Amino acid sequence: MDLLSHLKELSALPGLSGYEHSVRETIRAAWAPFVSETHVDQLGSLWATKAGSGKAPRPRIMLAAHMDAIGLMVTQIVGEFLRVTAIGGLDARVLPGQLVCVHGKSELTGVLAAPPAFLLPKNIADGVVPLSEILVDTGLPGDKLAEQVKVGDVISFAGPPCELQNNLFCAKSLDNRAAVAVLTVCMEQLQNRIHVWDVVAVATVQEELGTRGARTSAFSIAPDLAIAVDVTHGSGPAVKDLPDRTFPVGGGPTLGLGPNIHPGLCAAIQAVAERLEIPHAIEPLPQHSGTDAWAIQVARAGIPTMVIGLPLRNMHTPVEVLSLKDLNRAGRLLAEFIASLGADFMATLKYD
């Protein structure tokens, strides 16, 4: 698999929270060669099952990566412009001037435009322009715009991806299409490995709105173990003094540790990383991990859960940046850990 091409394809698709159908079938096509069956649940999450070699009934591990993306929704048509609200968390500081795609009767290219400061209310004229004051300009006159777009239509970011120096990649929606690509790498590597456990890779829906797809998937699949793969904050000049909250882009994946994490599972994965000399860092997660793991951990009677993070700069903007090396490392780590799982692993897993 060409990881760069795969990631470009995934990040280019809209697939906003609650509207993931446009990206789901692309993921299904990418995963299908590596699994025995795929399934879409009633909420829209995609499950891909790779059977293990152990004696049935086999233990099962769930790998979760959310496929939904942040974006916008039309709230009002004002003449030749659109007013919008957010789907998921957006950084309003970077919105003016961004290219977008309006998904109406047809796809319309637009730009997010902010009025000049002297036309804004005085109390916000000198600060960040709030989303309530930002307009979408498609270039259509009002009557034509109203024919093509209605209230409730969604809008995705449309800036092109680009390759940066030092094996870095910049695009929209890398939170969390990058983690979906990690699961693809993992399953591809498992093609050449014997693994006792069944593996269920899940591209979950609506994580940005409250980990909804992870909640229903974990309840239905009832895995013995679960690992959520997501992005975490990458370090940079403005955040270099936050060593417990940001991590070097290109320095390897992070391994979460905190109340949302089973410590024995974290230790087992860390041991595999150290044995294989895969660069990694421990990420303190003292409260809410902000990932699908939050919902998975408390499904049914409780599921031993882990979080693997990909350092990402500019999170929740249309110009997210990460390292392709980190994706490959995370995918390899997952595959090697799964291949190391024996049929009796759960009997040896201790919480303290």
* Catalytic residue annotation: 207
Give me the phi and psi of 130, to 5 degrees please: -70, 160
| Number of Cα atoms under 13 Å in the Cβ half of residue 330 | 36
- Return the amino acid letter for 124: I
Q: What is the DSSP string of 205-273?
A: S-GGGTSHHHHHHHHHH--SEEEEEEEEEBP-GGGTT-TTT-B-TTS--EEEESTTS-HHHHHHHHHHH
**What are the start-end ranges of the E strands in 37-147?**
37-40, 46-50, 60-66, 71-78, 81-87, 99-103, 107-113, 135-137
Tokens of 114: 């902010």
How far is it, in rounded angstroms, from Cα 332 to Cα 258? 23
Residue whose pair of structure tokens reads 């004002």 in the numeric block:
78
Q: What is the DSSP string of 30-47?
A: HHGGG-SEEEE-TTS-EE
Sign of CA dihedral 146, 147, 149, 151: positive
**CA 147 vs CA 99, 144, 151, 152: distances in Å:** 21, 5, 11, 14
**Strands 225-233 and 60-66, bridge-based pairing:** parallel
The answer for residues whose C-beta is within 8 angstroms of residue 109's C-beta and 6 or more apart is: 99, 100, 101, 102, 138, 158
Rama region for 44: left / alpha / beta (φ>0; ψ in -120 to 50; rest)? left
- Return the amino acid letter for 58: R
The answer for residues whose C-beta is within 8 angstroms of residue 341's C-beta and 6 or more apart is: 59, 61, 195, 196, 197
Beta bridge partners of 171: 320
